[in-house]
């Protein structure tokens, strides 16, 4: 597991720090570890793919609730659900 600081994760995922904090609060994209003393968030490099999916779904203007539900689905089921969305 390669940990990435929130700043590096933001740059690599194209998500803002503010968005990452919000997504953590809402349970959409939760960091792999939070330092209890400083509150600093760390992400696993493997979470970058999921973060990039969040970027794409938000560009489609999906609400966070829908994004969270789709991320929890099996990828084939998520793709099927996305194909049913009329944009």
Q: Read off the pTM.
A: 0.84
CB-based contacts of 82: which residues, under 8 Å, 6+ apart?
A: 57, 70
Helix, strand, or coil (residue 5) = strand
Q: Is the pLDDT of residue 23 over 80?
A: yes
Position of tokens 């493997």?
Answer: 46
- Predicted local distance difference test score (pLDDT) of residue 82: 78
Q: What is the pLDDT of residues 67-81, one digit of tens each?
A: 999 999 888 888 888
What's the CA gap between 37 and 71, in Å, rounded? 29
């Amino acid at each position: 597991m390669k940990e990435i600081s929130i700043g590096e994760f933001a740059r690599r995922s194209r998500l803002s720090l503010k968005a990452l904090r919000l997504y953590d609060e809402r349970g959409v994209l939760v960091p792999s570890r939070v330092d209890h003393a400083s509150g600093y968030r760390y992400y696993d490099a493997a979470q970058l793919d999921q973060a990039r999916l969040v970027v794409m779904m938000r560009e489609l203007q999906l609400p966070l609730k829908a994004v969270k539900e789709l991320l929890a689905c099996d990828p084939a089921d998520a793709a099927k659900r996305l194909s049913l969305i009329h944009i």
